[in-house]
Structure 1
């Protein structure tokens, strides 16, 4: 039996929604262009979207590149100097929902969308489950986390190394999301360290050289019931805002001065 449903249907809420990703969508990454007010959304199933400053429904920008579908979107960020949007795909393959993906899958991709030309292009391919990305405050590089590769790559946008990539940090186990801290050259990174008895999460701050300058490893950043694992952290005005994969709230953690 064929079920007709759209993202406004009640079927898209609660535990059923993830089973209907192709209809309901799943916003996995968001980022704001602070100059224009446009809110960009990386929908895991339905592609790249944008919401105007006035709000309302999201408008699809792209769900394919050169005729090939863009699948499993995750991380997203906006270059604060140019407005160019960078976003990642975990994998180019299609797998059943809630199933383990093959460890050898290295089809993750970093894309960019230029609002001035309205064109999406591929920046990096062959990534090992690219979950997050963040552009530096001066727009010189973009960082990409490889969840299964256990490292973070840096792709140079400007300067003498423009167009090349390199290792940025190879010490963080299973890095997931990356968020730039305001106008600084520092980044919060959430990692998920898997053990036989579950997942132990931590969050660290990396400077522009990939060195750890602060961490929350001494503080539990996941809920006591173990259900609402942290999806990302974002710092603003002395507080850390903590999002979860399944929780219906945002946690706020007051930071002490370093």
Structure 2
């Protein structure tokens, strides 16, 4: 399949939002809501935050409570409300990607510092599944996606060179040491499916389990890796953007939401970011919806778009963001 180039500057103006925008405030001092998940009962969102926790939203009281954490060395006194992951990441953990198994109520977590984890229905300390591949420790895990049929877990290593604190350096250098990995639910083994990715970011498995999509934040594209069929174990370009691709989330209808941070050149070389949510079909051919979010988010980059019960939940790894943004019907 030939690459499909999406020129965000040339497409018609983004759709007018027919939704209201509201903020779900995080606890005092807590920032960086990176990724979301909802359990099979619709509870949530569960959200990964900067200080190493996974929080759960309580609709009845309209606030968040502690649900889980990844690092066994984490303490509330040392980590709660902290944003200095340069020094505290290894101690506090930094969950970046979340995905629920609706049949077991288990929450799978990609933690930048701790590794691939799973959290039981009652929360608490996560159980480690893997922290290395072929004897080499992971560096900077980012996204995670569960195969709805086999329960295999697909996840990304943003870079094999840079740590979370060095993401800007990785982008500037054009780092291409990222990987797409698979955790086999039966053998418990980790294998590398793709390497040489330029900032491996979001990951999502198709509804039929035929393929997995993986984003390249630096490469500004999404790759499709075929899991089954005649093309099994081959890769092709799914879609290409003029912005940085973050997470990918499958909808209940099998389409995909993508968080894209459009790069706008105002006075070369000055750049500004326009956070945008883009919905694409399972074939990477049709843009079903394109909505700019700069009215509410300004120049702040977003990390995830997730649709749940007609509302759109927006994540941002930025340490200045202290809320979960929700676009909802009136």
* Alpha-carbon separation, structure 2, partners of 1:175 and 1:189: 7
- Over the aligned positions, Cα root-mean-square deviation in angstroms equals 2.0
1:140-151 map, 5 Å: 140-151=210-221
1:198 is matched with which residue?
272
Please report how far the alpha carbon of residue 10 of structure 1 lies from its aligned counterpart in structure 2 after TM superposition: 2.6
1:215 is matched with which residue?
290
Please report how far the alpha carbon of residue 181 of structure 1 lies from its aligned counterpart in structure 2 after TM superposition: 0.7
* Alpha-carbon separation, structure 1, partners of 2:106 and 2:295: 30
1:10 aligned counterpart, secondary structure: helix
* Alpha-carbon separation, structure 1, partners of 2:187 and 2:152: 10
* Alpha-carbon separation, structure 1, partners of 2:158 and 2:296: 23
TM-score by length of 2: 0.70
Please report how far the alpha carbon of residue 51 of structure 1 lies from its aligned counterpart in structure 2 after TM superposition: 0.4
* Alpha-carbon separation, structure 1, partners of 2:242 and 2:329: 22
* Alpha-carbon separation, structure 2, partners of 1:236 and 1:118: 31
1:86 is matched with which residue?
154
* Alpha-carbon separation, structure 2, partners of 1:223 and 1:19: 28
Of stretches 100-109 and 35-44 in structure 1, the one that deviates more from structure 2 is 100-109
Alignment gaps of 5+ in structure 2: 1-71, 265-269
1:116 aligned counterpart, secondary structure: coil
CA contact (8 A) 2:178 2:200 kept: yes
1:97 aligned counterpart, secondary structure: helix
Cα 1:95–1:56 change in 2 (3 A) is closer
* Alpha-carbon separation, structure 2, partners of 1:140 and 1:222: 36
1:21 aligned counterpart, secondary structure: helix
The counterpart of 1:128, out of the listed 174, 198, 206, is 198
1:45 aligns with 2:119: no
* Alpha-carbon separation, structure 1, partners of 2:85 and 2:240: 35
Please report how far the alpha carbon of residue 172 of structure 1 lies from its aligned counterpart in structure 2 after TM superposition: 4.6
Of stretches 128-137 and 185-194 in structure 1, the one that deviates more from structure 2 is 185-194
1:8-157 map, 5 Å: 8-12=75-79, 13-95=81-163, 97-98=165-166, 99-101=168-170, 102-157=172-227
Cα 1:56–1:147 change in 2 (3 A) is same
1:163 aligned counterpart, secondary structure: coil
1:248 aligns with 2:318: no
1:80-127 CA deviation, whole Å, 9 max, x = no partner?
A: 111111000110013582552252421100011122221111111110
2:307 is matched with which residue?
235
* Alpha-carbon separation, structure 1, partners of 2:139 and 2:102: 27
* Alpha-carbon separation, structure 1, partners of 2:162 and 2:303: 22
* Alpha-carbon separation, structure 1, partners of 2:99 and 2:164: 27
1:139 aligned counterpart, secondary structure: coil
2:74 is matched with which residue?
7
TM-score by length of 1: 0.89
Instruction: Determine which structure has greater relative contact order: mean sequence separation of CA pairs < 8 Å that are 6+ residues apart, divided by chain length.
Output: 2
* Alpha-carbon separation, structure 2, partners of 1:96 and 1:185: 31
CA contact (8 A) 1:18 1:26 kept: no
Cα 1:255–1:177 change in 2 (3 A) is farther
